[in-house]
Structure formats: C-alpha cells, structure tokens
Amino acid sequence: MKKYLLLYRAANDAMEHPTEKTPQEQKEINDSWIAWVRKCGSQLTDPGQIFGRAFNITLDGFEPVNSQIIGFSILQARDLEEAEELLHGNPHLGINKNHSFILYEPRS
C-alpha cells in the first residue's frame, strides 16, 4: 500500500469571499464529509485539516503568500486507480465550482 497526499484547492476569491450557507446546507455538507470519511475507513490514514495563512520561506526570511491550497488529507491505496476511487463522494468539489484536488502519488 502507498500513501497519497491529497491537497484541496480553492480559488483565492473563494476563500476571501466564501458563499454563505444556510444552517441546513452546512449540515448537509458536514454530513457528506462524515459519510466520505466513513467510506474511506482506515484508508484515510490522516483526515488532515484546513489551512490558515501561508508563508513563503527562504534564506532571506518569510513573507505571507496567497495560496490556493486550503487543506490536506492522506490516503492509503494499492495504486493510483484505487486512490482516485476513494475520492468519489468527497464533498470538496461540490462546495464551490472552483474547488479541485491535487493528488500526489509517491515515487516507486
């Protein structure tokens, strides 16, 4: 089994101006996250978290940057196809039309 790094992307304006959700819409989103986590089971080795501010760090110091990466999860799968299958049902894509994933496959 390999570990895959899943990064959640959102357009910068989506983070600066999030769409307001009704309490019912927010509950449905939360319920869909819970369902996805349960579907993945032990193959979701780290559900991750949502990120706060981002910084570019160099030998000269660090400075804030705008990043479209808003969070991460770590999945465990036999191969890329199984990792992609685990993404089915992940609610991130349905929250905003500008959301997407970056999935990093480990080197062999």
Instruction: For the full predicted model, state whether its pTM sits above 0.75.
Output: yes
Q: Which of 68, 85, 89 is nearest to 76 (CA)?
A: 85
pLDDT band at 81 (very low <50, low <70, confident <90, very high): very high
Residue range of the domain that includes 60: 2-104
Q: Which of 73, 81, 78, 71 is nearest to 6 (CA)?
A: 73
Tens digit of each residue's pLDDT (9 = 90 or more) over 16-44? 666 678 899 889 999 999 999 999 999 99
Domain count, the chain: 1
Among left, alpha and beta (phi > 0; psi -120 to 50; other), residue 48 is: left
Residues 6+ apart with CB under 8 A from 19: 96
- Output the pLDDT for position 75: 97
- Output the pLDDT for position 14: 61
Strands of the sheet with 44-50, listed across from one edge = 44-50, 69-77, 2-9, 100-104
Q: What is the CATH number of the domain that holds 80?
A: 3.30.70.1060
